[in-house]
Amino acid sequence: MARRKREEEHENHERWLVSYADFMTLLFAFFVVMYAISSVNQGKYRVLSNSLINAFQNTNKPLIRVASQASSQIAIARPIPDNKASDVHLEEQTRQMRGMASDLRTLLEPLIQQGKVRVTQSRRGIAVEISNSVLFDTAKAVLQPDSVAALKAVAQRIASTSNLIQVEGNTDNQPIKSTQYPSNWELSSARAASVVRLFVDTGITPERMVAIGYGEYRPVESNDSVDGRARNRRVTINILADSRDDVAVLPGPSPTAAPAPAP
């Protein structure tokens, strides 16, 4: 009798599906458990939702603070700039500068009456304009002895303050050419530096000051007349209200308009 041939066992190539199904089942069970143990605070969710709706629908209305059922609060408010502190600071600064200007006018009253000094005040600060005829000899940058006392009085008044000081030297348009000063640039710069050195010797810290020479390029009067050239030969001491360090680039008074004399 012929022996029955044994059938070959068919290889199952899809057995990986069993492991994959087990993995998906475990992953599903994991998310079910996580969802079951989690909870959503409906009160907080509702407050947040209402606040966001109000924010986008009522852009012109201020948002209010809403209390949730759990006594927690969610506030969405527009920032309101508080200018009160800055206004108080500006008012105090203006008051101090006004008092300083008044003191300087009192100290320099004789020279003001002679038309040799002008003290003016603006938003930039206080400008003390002194004629070079009071401070220097012609084509010189050495301070005259009679002018030292007046400059020291100014320095003593502003030594206790923290304002930055910008000293500007100016000349007329008459050319100068010497071994010491080849042009009006050098002369005006040297005159400004002479005032700065005196201020340092009087007690003002050097870090507060800068010396600038403009030469003949910042006239306040026409150089076509003797009086105009005399007015343009000047040193201006600017006591700045601005506390920034870039005092050298701060704009000065308009070169076409002279400041009004002090009353």
50 and 94 together in one domain: no
Are residues 33 and 155 part of one domain? no
pLDDT band at 106 (very low <50, low <70, confident <90, very high): very high
Pair (38, 100) in one structural domain: no
Q: Is residue 151 a part of any domain in this protein?
A: yes
Q: Which two tokens stand for residue 14?
A: 């899809």
> How many CB atoms neighbour CB 129 within 10 A?
22
One domain, residues 173 and 90: yes
Q: Is there a single domain that holds both residue 57 and residue 146?
A: no
Which residue type does 101 have? A
| Same domain, yes or no: 227 and 110 | yes
Tokens (6 digits) for 47: 């407050």
Domain count, the chain: 2
- One-letter amino acid at 62 equals P
Please give the residue range of the domain that contains residue 25.
18-74
- Give pLDDT tens digits for 151-208: 999 999 999 999 999 999 999 999 998 889 999 999 999 999 999 999 999 999 999 9
Note whether 93 and 164 are same-domain residues: yes
| Cross-strand pairs, 126 | 121, 239
Tokens 């206004």 correspond to 87
Q: 104 and 64, same structural domain?
A: no
The amino acid sitting at 33 is V
Q: Which position has the higher pLDDT, 82 or 147?
A: 147
Give the pLDDT confidence score for residue 44 in this predicted structure.
Answer: 63
Assess whether 45 and 147 both reside in one domain. no
Residue 139, Ramachandran bin (φ over 0: left; ψ between -120 and 50: alpha; else beta): left
Lowest mean pLDDT among 53-57, 70-74, 207-211: 70-74
Per residue in 19-63, pLDDT (tens digit) is 888 888 888 888 777 776 766 566 666 766 676 676 666 555 444
Q: The domain spanning residue 183 has which CATH number?
A: 3.30.1330.60
Strand 125-131 vs strand 165-170: parallel, antiparallel, or unpaired?
unpaired
Q: Do 159 and 203 belong to one domain?
A: yes
Alpha helix ranges (H) inside the chain: 16-37, 42-57, 84-107, 109-113, 132-135, 145-158, 184-202, 226-232
| pLDDT(209) > 60 | yes
